[in-house]
Amino acid sequence: MLNLMRQAKNAIAAQEAALKIITSNIANMDTTGYKRLDISFQSIFEQILNRGSAAGSTNNLGGTNPIQLGQGMGIADLKVDFSQGDLASGSNLDLAISGQGLFAVSDDGGTTFKYTRSGDFSINSAGNLVTSTGAQVYGFFGTGTSLIPITGLSSALYNTNNLSFDSAGSLLEYTDDTFTSVQADTGFRIALTYFNNPGGLIQSAGSTFEETDASGAPAAAALPGGAAGSVTARYTESSNVFYLSESLKSLEIQRAMNGNLTMIRLASDIISNFISRLG
C-alpha cells in the first residue's frame, strides 16, 4: 500500500509541473515572440519479477513472457515549441521572422548573447536599437560580417519616426510614414541566426533564450533570406500558444490528478481498516 501511495504521489508531482507549464503558456498568450513550453511524460518500469523464458525447441513447450511492475510515471521531456506564430501589425521599427531564425541581442555590451523572436524594437535615448526589455539589438554594418550593436540612431541624424527595415533587413530612413520612398540608408542590417536544436534552448528574461549544451552553438549570423528565414517589416510575431489546446490539456491533467488522489485515499482506507482490525 505504501508503494502504491508513493507512485501516486510521484505522478501528482509530475502532473503539477505540467499544470505550471500550461499556466505559464496561457499567461503569455499575448506576449510577443513567446514560444510555448511542451511537457511529455514517461512510464517508469523498475521492478522485474520474472524475465521470461524462450520456447523449448525439443519439448514443444511454450515460453513465458516477462513479468514486471510499473513504478509510476515521471517527466520525460520539457522543451520549447518553436512552431511559427501568427504575424501582427506593429510599429515602424518592428520585425517579424518567418522561419527558424532568431535575433541576436545582448544586455552586457556583447560579452554574451541571448536570442529572441520578439522583434518589437525601439530606439532609446542613446540612439541604440533595443528590445522591449532594453537589450541591445545586434546586426551588421555595410558589407561587414561581424556582429555589432545597431546604434547612432539619434534624432539629430535621422527622423526616427520614419526609420524602418525593408524586406532584406536593411534599416532605412524613409521620406514619410508611408515607407515607400527612401531618404537615406543608415548602413545597418539586421542579423539572424538559428540553432540545430532550438528545443534545447532555455528561456530567459523578456522572451529571450540562452544556448545550452543541448542546443549547441548558434549558426553563423547572416542576413535574412537564408537558412534562418526571412523578415517582415512593421510586423511582430505573436505567441504560438493556442488557448483551447492548453485548456483541454489542463482538463486531462486534472482528471489524472483526481485519479491518483483517489488511489491515495483508497490505500489510506485499506491501511486504516487493517490497523483498526489489529487493535
Note the pLDDT of residue 64.
Answer: 80
What pLDDT is attached to residue 15? 93
Burial of 276 (0-12, 13-18, 19+ CB in 10 A): exposed
Higher per-residue confidence, 195 vs 50: 195
> Can you tell me the distance from the alpha carbon of 238 to that of 216, in angstroms, rounded to the nearest whole number?
26
What's 55-102 look like in SS3? CCCCCCCCCECCEEEEEEEEEEEEEECCCCCCEEECCCCCEEEECCCE
C-alpha to C-alpha distance for 254 and 278, rounded to whole angstroms: 36
Q: What is the pLDDT of residues 81-131, one digit of tens each?
A: 999 999 999 999 999 999 999 999 999 999 999 999 999 999 999 999 999
C-alpha to C-alpha distance for 143 and 264, rounded to whole angstroms: 66
CA 273 – CA 279 distance, rounded (Å)? 10
The residue type of 114 is: K
Contact predicate 17/74, CB 8 Å: no
Q: Does 79 or 147 have the greater pLDDT score?
A: 147
In degrees and rounded to multiples of 5, residue 268 shows phi and psi of -65, -40
What pLDDT shows up at residue 125?
Answer: 93
Dihedral sign from CA coordinates of 87, 118, 147, 80? negative
Give counts: helices (H), strands (E), the chain. Answer: 2, 18
Place of cell 540608408: 185
Q: Which of 55-64, 154-163, 200-209, 213-222 has the lowest mean pLDDT?
A: 55-64
Q: What is the pTM of this model?
A: 0.83
pLDDT recorded at residue 58: 65
Nearest to 97 by CA among 32, 45, 36, 160: 32
* Confidence category of residue 59, pLDDT binned at 50, 70, 90: low
User: Is 72's pLDDT higher than 80?
Assistant: no
What span, in angstroms and rounded, lies between the C-alpha atoms of 170 and 125? 22
- State the pLDDT at residue 45: 66
Could you tell me the residue ranges of all domains in the chain? 2-47+70-81+242-278, 87-237
CA-CA distance, 260 to 41, in Å (whole number)?
Answer: 15
Higher pLDDT, 270 or 93: 93
How does the average pLDDT of the chain come out, rounded? 91
Query: What value does the mean pLDDT take over residues 31-53?
Result: 84
Q: Can you give the pLDDT at residue 273?
A: 86
Residue 60 pLDDT grade (very low, low, confident, very high; cuts 50, 70, 90): low
Ramachandran sector of residue 137 (left: φ over 0; alpha: ψ -120 to 50; beta: rest): beta
pLDDT at 42: 85
Distance in angstroms (rounded) separating the CA atoms of residues 79 and 102? 17
Selection from 207, 272, 273 nearest residue 241 by Cα: 207
Number of residues that this document lists for the chain:
279
Q: What is the dihedral of CA 263, 268, 271, 276, to 10 degrees?
A: -140
